[in-house]
Structures are given as C-alpha cells and as structure tokens.
C-alpha cells in the first residue's frame, strides 16, 4: 500500500515540478500513439467497410487472417518490423530502426487488424434489408455509405478505442524496434519497464498513473463521441 501512495505522491511531484524528461517522454508517447492510431483509423475503417459490404472470392480467408492479426503477439510484431528495417533487410536503407517511426510502424502492425476486423464485423452485422431500403429511397452510393456509417458509428468508435488501447499499452514491440533510447525513443511504457528493472517502483508507479490518466482522458473523449445523442 505504501508503494502505491508513494507512487501517487511521486506522480504529483513530477507533474507539478514540470520535469523536462517526463514531459518529453509523455509528448513522445502521445505523438507515436496518435500517428499509429490515425493511420490505422484512416486505412482500417475504409478497408473494413470494403470487406464487410462486399462479397468476393476469398473474403472468408481475408477475415481469418485479419482475425489472426488482431491477436498478434507484440514480440512477433516487433521482430517483423526489426527484420524489415534491419541494415540487410528490405527497408534497411531508410535507417528507421531505433527511431520513433519504427515504434509507429510496430504499433500500426498490432492496431490495424483490430480496427479493420471490428469495422468489418460491424458492417457484416447490418441487416441486408436496411441497405435495400436505403437504395429504394433513391440514395446515391455516397449517401448510402454515409447512412451506413452513421448506423455503425458506435461499433466503429469502439474499434478505434480498441486499437488505441492496444497502441498506448504497447511495450514489447516498442522496446525491440525503438531500443528505449533516452531523448529519442523512450516512451512511457518502456520507461516503466526500465524503472521496475532498476527497482524504482515509486517512479514506475508514478509513470503508470500518468499513462493511465492519458488513456482515461482520450478514451473518455472517444466514448463521449460514441454515446452522443443516445438516451441516458
């Protein structure tokens, strides 16, 4: 219990003191998470809509691979990105390994299947009669898609929140491809692991409080959008 109290006190001290290193780590965490979830959202939602609304040969196989990707172990994602960005790898000339961009790529690899798969499931669950009714009323293709998006808004935002939860909690892949380099690739999750390894539990708990606060605030914002105009 004393550890938790000390950690909470340490978190307040870090925030009030304006610790430059903590601010840098927190801002980098927000930056890489935002870049990863933005890409996963912009690509995953249209891709999920396409898969969910169209029937094509091999669509079930595609969904199987997407569902497998939703559960990809972080270390496998980290290993995959590491091999791609290694000096002798196909993208080695870009020199992106051990950079924030490498962390973003690893986070995209674990979050894109989640956003895509949950979005596809939401559109597959629509009543086919609804689509026929919308078309019967003379709606254009764009109007039809917009109405279907509004119909599945709650599920789509749930997919985005699930993807965000995966990226902000990511540590294994981030450690592998980023290296937890001070002033360059050190984010909250990797710093927490490092501080626990050093036995600095008060600092680790303080950073955990900061991480949870960020996750709570962003999830609260997305949930507010999701539940807007719904009856209490």
Q: What is the CATH number of the domain that holds 217?
A: 1.10.3720.10
Decide: pTM greater than 0.75: yes
pLDDT tens, 68-88? 999 999 999 999 999 999 998
Is the pLDDT at 231 greater than 60? The verdict is no
The span from the CA of 67 to the CA of 62, in Å, is 9
Domain assignment of residue 39, yes or no: yes
- How many structural domains does the chain have? 1
The span from the CA of 43 to the CA of 115, in Å, is 9
Q: Work out the widest C-alpha separation in the chain, in whole angstroms.
A: 66
The larger pLDDT score, comparing residue 1 to residue 202, is at 202
Domain assignment of residue 129, yes or no: yes
Contact 208, 8 (CB under 8 A): no
Domain assignment of residue 146, yes or no: yes
* Tokens (6 digits) for 161: 């929140």
Q: Which of 49, 69, 66 is nearest to 124 (CA)?
A: 49
The span from the CA of 132 to the CA of 194, in Å, is 56
Least confident of 99-103, 136-140, 173-177: 136-140
Q: Which of 95, 114, 96 is nearest to 39 (CA)?
A: 114
Contact 165, 226 (CB under 8 A): no
Domain assignment of residue 200, yes or no: yes
- Which residues, including other chains, have CB under 8 Å from residue 32's CB and lie 6 or more apart? 100, 103, 104, 107, 167, 174, 187
In which domain, by residue range, is 42 found? 2-227
Residue range 174-196: mean pLDDT, rounded: 92
The span from the CA of 102 to the CA of 28, in Å, is 13
Domain assignment of residue 232, yes or no: no
**Band of pLDDT at residue 229, cut at 50, 70 and 90:** low
Is the pLDDT at 232 greater than 80? The verdict is no
**Band of pLDDT at residue 122, cut at 50, 70 and 90:** very high
Three-class secondary structure of residue 99 per DSSP: coil
Mean pLDDT computed over every residue of the chain: 88
Length of the chain measured in residues: 232
The phi and psi torsions of 228 (rounded to 5 degrees) equal -60, 140
Is the pLDDT at 214 greater than 70? The verdict is yes
């Amino acid at each position: 219990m004393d550890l938790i109290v000390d950690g909470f006190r340490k978190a307040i001290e870090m925030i009030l003191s304006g610790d430059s290193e903590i601010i840098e780590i927190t801002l980098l965490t927000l930056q890489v998470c935002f870049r990863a979830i933005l890409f996963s959202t912009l690509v995953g939602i249209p891709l999920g809509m396409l898969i969910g609304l169209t029937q094509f040969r091999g669509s079930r196989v595609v969904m199987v691979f997407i569902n497998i990707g939703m559960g990809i172990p972080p270390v496998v994602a980290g290993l995959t990105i590491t091999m791609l960005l290694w000096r002798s790898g196909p993208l080695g000339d870009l020199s992106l390994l051990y950079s924030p961009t490498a962390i973003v790529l690893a986070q995209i690899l674990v979050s894109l299947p989640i956003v895509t798969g949950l979005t596809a499931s939401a559109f597959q669950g629509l009543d086919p009669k609804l689509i026929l009714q919308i078309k019967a009323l003379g709606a254009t293709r764009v109007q039809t898609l917009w109405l279907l998006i509004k119909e599945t808004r709650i599920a789509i935002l749930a997919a985005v929140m699930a993807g965000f939860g995966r990226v902000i909690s990511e540590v294994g892949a981030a450690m592998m491809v980023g290296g937890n380099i001070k002033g360059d690739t050190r984010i909250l999750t990797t710093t927490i692991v490092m501080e626990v390894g050093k036995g600095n539990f008060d600092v680790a708990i303080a950073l955990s409080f900061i991480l949870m606060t960020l996750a709570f605030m962003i999830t609260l914002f997305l949930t507010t959008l999701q539940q807007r105009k719904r009856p209490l």
